Structure 1
Amino acid sequence: MIQSSLSSSSILLFFIVVLSLYWLTSSTPLVNAKCPNLPSCKTHRAGFKPRFNGCGPRHSEIMRLLGSILFDSFTPCCNEHDKCYETCGNSRETCDQIMYKCMVNTCNKLYSSSFAKRSWCKLKAEGIKMGLKPDSDVTCTAFASAQQRACDCSEDDEGEDEE
């Protein structure tokens, strides 16, 4: 039991270190608390179908694989998060908050009878929440890309938001 917990702890620690190094060495700088120049599109592209990939970024197979191993119980939350990012008119902050609440609810349901497992699960949810920090250019880029893929950003839509 202890050995199993240690290996899970080691994997999570490795994941956090790799993610931190990725952010620190990223060529894109961090921005202020909110993402600048996000699309303000309200109309879905004709025929667009949302895509989702579980827990992990689309651009990194290694990070996606680690995410699927470490955060398997959060897969439905991660998929809904991907869909939320690709829903025109949604805000990034709202999608991130919904995902975090989903993960905490998942922990409470799966581990209602085990304080230790529930706490470990919530620690993993906190780790993911930290990865979605509002000042991360990676998160801003992911949201902007999802909105641009899913939405028709016409001048009419953009003009409505400027009023």
Structure 2
Amino acid sequence: MKYTGNVIKYGDNVDTDVIIPARYLNTSDHKELASHCMEDLDKTFVSRVQNGDIIAAGQNFGCGSSREHAPIAIKANGVSLVIAKSFARIFYRNAINIGLAIVECPAAAEEISEGDKVEADLDKGIIRNLTTGREYRTAPFPEFVQKIIENGGLMQSIANGSF
């Protein structure tokens, strides 16, 4: 699984309530959720995010509630990958369940800057900052996780008979 995109950068403890504010949880429409993604943290996110962009963030990304709405809102905006120093465990699992690629790589998350162009090969566990030329290593995804993400999520994987 390879991803290439421009980086949108956030800090530590980005919680699910700023990823998708609770006042919008009365819908399960992915486009509607996407339209409000990050609005309490970054009012420019929805207007500047491009299909394939990558979020880089600090520690504890996705802390807060256990709702799947947060990774759904991110993915529905076209974000292809989230790189963070660490993730809240339930967000990590929810992201994989809905088919959003995520990877913990503290060095990359720290050193990558807003607007950098990044390429990630998660099969090999390599992240390259194409802007600076820096390369980072991380653990590759296990094959079953790769399949879940490639299929668009856990439910699609089951429906496709991939398990």
- Give yes or no for TM over 0.5: no
| Greater helix fraction, Structure 1 or Structure 2 | 1
> Whose RCO is larger (CA < 8 A, sep 6+)?
1
Larger radius of gyration: 1
TM-score between both structures, scaled by the size of structure 1: 0.29
TM-score between both structures, scaled by the size of structure 2: 0.29
| Greater strand fraction, Structure 1 or Structure 2 | 2
